[in-house]
Structure 1
Amino acid sequence: MPTWTLHTEFKFDAAHFIDGYDGKCGRMHGHSYKVKMTAKSHKLNPSKYLKSDDMVCDFKELKWAAKDSKKGGFDHGVLNELMPDNTTAERIAEYIHKETKNRIPEGIDLTVTVWETDNSWVEYTDQDV
């Protein structure tokens, strides 16, 4: 079966605090987050910008979180104001995953990796691995 796996990475800067955390992460602070998106599909699809079935999904849709927070993304925003859940790295990855799945065609296996620092990251997928 043919398989295409799309990869893209982007960064955004944002502030947050972890509500209820007993330590310095409970206070407002910021990170330069790095995100890797991996989208795997057994078929090609159209997109909002290309009507023919020639892509797994559009890179623009995968990179929505890199947009300015005033334009629907996370960049230079306060994550506690932009997300319904607590802003741990795990919840950020889960939220980006869920929001991205709403923007891309059905049937794509999506994996989201979020680096909070150079040596601390989390990977999220809704598939059994």
Structure 2
Amino acid sequence: MSKIRITKQFDFETGHALYGYDGKCRNVHGHSYKLAVTVIGSPITDTSHVKLGMVIDFGDLKKIVKEDIVDVFDHATVFNKNTPHIELAKELQDRGHSVILVDYQPTSENMVIDFAEKIKARLPENVKLHSLKLQETETSFAQWYASDNE
């Protein structure tokens, strides 16, 4: 049976700051992220299955990514909880802002690794995560490929 890759794209707005960084991104700022999620699998061949011919229903993929990434990260600010930014995060949370504390420097590279783990954990057994592309700006993005991480 042929393997097919399908991709669904998502958009969300997220703020972050890179503690200890030597450039402008040490300041709190935000991006209009674009996330492309590509999965791979064989189309369903069971003629009695309602999803006949699909690798995964785009709606099911959307549900996974929205619940674990988009709805969590959209209009939130991400900080590395292992830095003094924890104090700023606490202040923002106390003022009603959405804050995400992570165990890593919130770069696109580390965020895409985090997203890959979250998505892989939710996919059906017969569908595998193939790749992610997290676009931070029009000209800058990070990519994750399963084949690079086996």
TM-score, with length taken from structure 1: 0.79
| Residue correspondences, number | 118
Partner of 2:143: 123
Rounded Cα–Cα distance in structure 1 between residues aligned with 2:78 and 2:118: 14
Q: Which runs of 5+ in 1 are unaligned?
A: 45-50, 68-72
The equivalent of 2:12 in structure 1 is 12
The answer to whether 1:74 aligns with 2:78 is no
Report runs of 4+ in structure 1 exceeding 4 Å deviation.
51-55
Post-superposition shift, 1:52?
6.3
Q: 1:93 aligns with which of 91, 109, 112?
A: 112
Q: CA RMSD in A?
A: 2.2
1:108 aligns with 2:131: no
Q: Match for residue 3 of structure 2?
A: 3
Q: How does 1:19-98 map to 2 (within 5 A)?
A: 19-42=19-42, 44=44, 54=52, 55-57=54-56, 58-59=60-61, 60-64=63-67, 65-67=69-71, 73-80=72-79, 81-98=100-117
More helix by share: 2
In structure 2, the CA distance between the partners of 1:86 and 1:29, relative to structure 1 (3 Å rule), is: same
Identical counterparts, % of pairs: 31
- Answer whether contact 1:4 1:42 (CA < 8 A) is retained: yes
